[in-house]
Amino acid sequence: MRSLALIILFSISAIQDAHAEFFKGAVSSALGESGRAGMMGAEGAFLNPALVALHQGYELAGYFRDGYIDSQEHRQAWGIGAIDQGRDVWFPGSIHYLRLRDTGRAPTAADGELWHVAIGQPVSDSLSLGVTAYRLQYDVSGDRSYDQWNYSLGSLVLVNDSLTFGYVLNNLAKPGSRVPRGLREDLNQALAASLAFGQMVRLRADIGRQERFNPDHKLKWMFGFESMTDKFVVMRLGFIRDELADTKIYTGGVGLNGPRLKLEYSAQKNQERTSGVLHSVDLRLPF
Q: What pLDDT is recorded for position 150?
A: 93
Buried-state track 158-195, b at ≥16 Cβ within 10 A, e below 16 = beeeeebbbbbbbbbebbeeebeebbbbbbbbbbbbbe
Stretch (H or E) spanning 49: none
Q: Under DSSP, is residue 53 helix (H, G, I), strand (E, B) or coil?
A: helix
Q: What pLDDT is recorded for position 142?
A: 67
* C-beta separation of 93 from 69 below 8 A: no
* C-beta separation of 83 from 119 below 8 A: no
Q: Please write the tens of the pLDDT for every residue from 126-179.
A: 999 999 999 999 999 766 889 999 999 999 999 998 999 999 999 999 877 788
Radius of gyration of the chain (CA): 18
Q: What pLDDT is recorded for position 106?
A: 82
Q: Give phi and psi for 13, each to the nearest 5.
A: -70, -5
Q: What pLDDT is recorded for position 273?
A: 65
Q: Around 13, how many Cα atoms within 13 Å sit in the side-chain half-sphere?
A: 16
Detail the DSSP E strand segments found in 43-180.
57-70, 73-85, 93-102, 110-122, 127-140, 145-158, 163-170
Residue 130 one-letter amino acid: G
Q: What pLDDT is recorded for position 40?
A: 80
Q: Give the pTM.
A: 0.88
Q: What pLDDT is recorded for position 9?
A: 41
Query: Which residue ranges of the chain lie beneath pLDDT 70?
Result: 1-21, 86-87, 89, 142-143, 273-274
In the structure, how many helices (H) and strands (E) does the chain have?
3, 14
Q: What pLDDT is recorded for position 131?
A: 97
Burial bucket for residue 97 (CB in 10 Å: 0-12, 13-18, 19+): middle
State the greatest distance between any 2 C-alpha atoms of the chain, in Å, as a whole number: 54
End-to-end CA distance of the chain: 42
Q: What pLDDT is recorded for position 13?
A: 35
